[in-house]
């Protein structure tokens, strides 16, 4: 019987690349995201490799999450891996110029949404002999940078939530990983820059950023580890990225 993976945010970037990779390996896919048409196209593309179930889902809505899981069709009720990937950053302005609605949206999606999906799927995951939860945190969970404020803090939640889940799930067969990527080229920055293609091109041009396929490979590797191994956290940057100096502001009289 094939394994089954549940992916949030499968319409783009890491989630979409993971769907393609897991399909190549013959996994059953449960693909979710808000853009239903993209999910339908992806399901069409992958149907020759594997069985696919897809459904529109806004992770912020806990009732939608539980209704979707209660309505999973036969053959998709046993889930071996959850990729908690749906998430976003909005804006790069400093905290005193940031928009409060953007802060709420990031918290609602990256924190509440991830918690909603995890809580709803844990009863299924813990029924499996071996299962994996891969939570998409970020380098922003570990390292501060200007303009990261709520985004980075929401990802720090994801990283710590992952460790705390491990404490309760130890011995259950459910492994949990906080995956913490750095600069990666996807629609992520188009969303963050409110669709500004020029800013997007400036950020990624010649940067040799990580690609969604790189992250998908890492996710597949994590999930494929033998049952006795739990990778607690994995931080990954492109070789072209590193930390910068501490900032010192000098005041002259």
Active site residues: 151
Candidate residues 2, 20, 25, 34; the one interacting with ligand NDP per rule CB under 6 A: 34
Choose among ligand 8X3, ligand NDP, none what residue 177 binds, the Cβ cut-off being 5 to 8 Å by kind. none
As given in the structure block, the two tokens for residue 101 are: 């609605």
Per-residue string for binding with ligand 8X3, 131-150, x by CB under 6 A?
A: -------xxx-------x--
Bridge partners of residue 28, in order along the sequence: 4
Choose among ligand NDP, ligand 8X3, none what residue 109 binds, the Cβ cut-off being 5 to 8 Å by kind. ligand NDP
- CA 237 – CA 220 distance, rounded (Å): 17
- CA 10 – CA 33 distance, rounded (Å): 6
Per-residue string for binding with ligand NDP, 71-100, x by CB under 6 A?
A: --------------xxxx------------
User: Is residue 18 a contact point for ligand NDP (CB under 6 A)?
Assistant: no
| Best CA proximity match to 118, nearest among 6, 251, 203 | 6
Nearer to ligand NDP, 127 or 213 (CB): 213
> How many residues form the binding site for ligand 8X3 (CB under 6 A)?
6
Q: Return the sign of the alpha-carbon dihedral for residues 78, 6, 35, 11.
A: negative
In sequence order, the 6+-apart residues with CB closer than 8 A to the CB of 133 are 81, 82, 84, 118, 125, 162, 165, 174, 175, 176, 177
- Tell me which DSSP letter residue 127 carries: T
Could you give the 3-state DSSP secondary structure of residue 186?
A: coil
> How many residues form the binding site for ligand NDP (CB under 6 A)?
30
Nearer to ligand NDP, 92 or 186 (CB): 186
Choose among ligand 8X3, ligand NDP, none what residue 91 binds, the Cβ cut-off being 5 to 8 Å by kind. none
Please state the closest distance from residue 50 (CB atom) to ligand NDP, in A: 19
In sequence order, the 6+-apart residues with CB closer than 8 A to the CB of 85 are 7, 8, 9, 10, 14, 15, 18, 134, 136
Site for ligand NDP, rule CB under 6 A: 8-9, 11-15, 33-35, 57-60, 85-88, 109, 113, 136, 138, 181, 183-184, 186-188, 191, 212
Residues that bind ligand 8X3 (CB under 6 A): 138-140, 148, 182-183
């Amino acid at each position: 019987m094939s394994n089954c993976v549940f992916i949030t945010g499968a319409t783009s970037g890491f989630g979409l690349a993971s769907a393609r990779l897991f399909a190549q390996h013959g996994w059953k896919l449960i693909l979710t995201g808000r853009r239903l048409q993209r999910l339908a196209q992806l399901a069409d593309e992958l149907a020759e490799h594997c069985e696919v179930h897809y459904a529109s889902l806004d992770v912020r809505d806990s009732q939608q999450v539980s209704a979707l899981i209660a309505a999973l069709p036969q053959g998709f009720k046993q889930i071996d891996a959850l990729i908690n990937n749906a998430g976003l950053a909005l804006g790069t302005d400093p905290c005193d110029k940031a928009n409060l609605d953007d802060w709420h949206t990031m918290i609602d999606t990256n924190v509440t949404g991830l918690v909603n999906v995890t809580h709803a799927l844990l009863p299924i995951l813990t029924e499996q002999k071996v299962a994996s939860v891969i939570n998409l945190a970020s380098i922003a969970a570990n390292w501060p940078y200007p303009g990261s404020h709520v985004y980075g803090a929401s990802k720090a939640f994801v990283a710590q939530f992952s460790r705390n889940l491990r404490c309760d799930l130890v011995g259950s067969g459910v492994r949990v990983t906080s995956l913490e990527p750095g600069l990666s080229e996807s629609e992520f920055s188009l969303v963050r820059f409110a669709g500004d293609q020029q800013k997007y091109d400036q950020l990624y041009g010649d940067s040799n950023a990580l690609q969604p396929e790189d992250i998908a490979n890492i996710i597949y590797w994590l999930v494929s580890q033998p049952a006795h191994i739990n990778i607690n956290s994995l931080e990954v940057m492109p070789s072209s990225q590193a930390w910068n100096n501490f900032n010192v502001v000098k005041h002259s009289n």
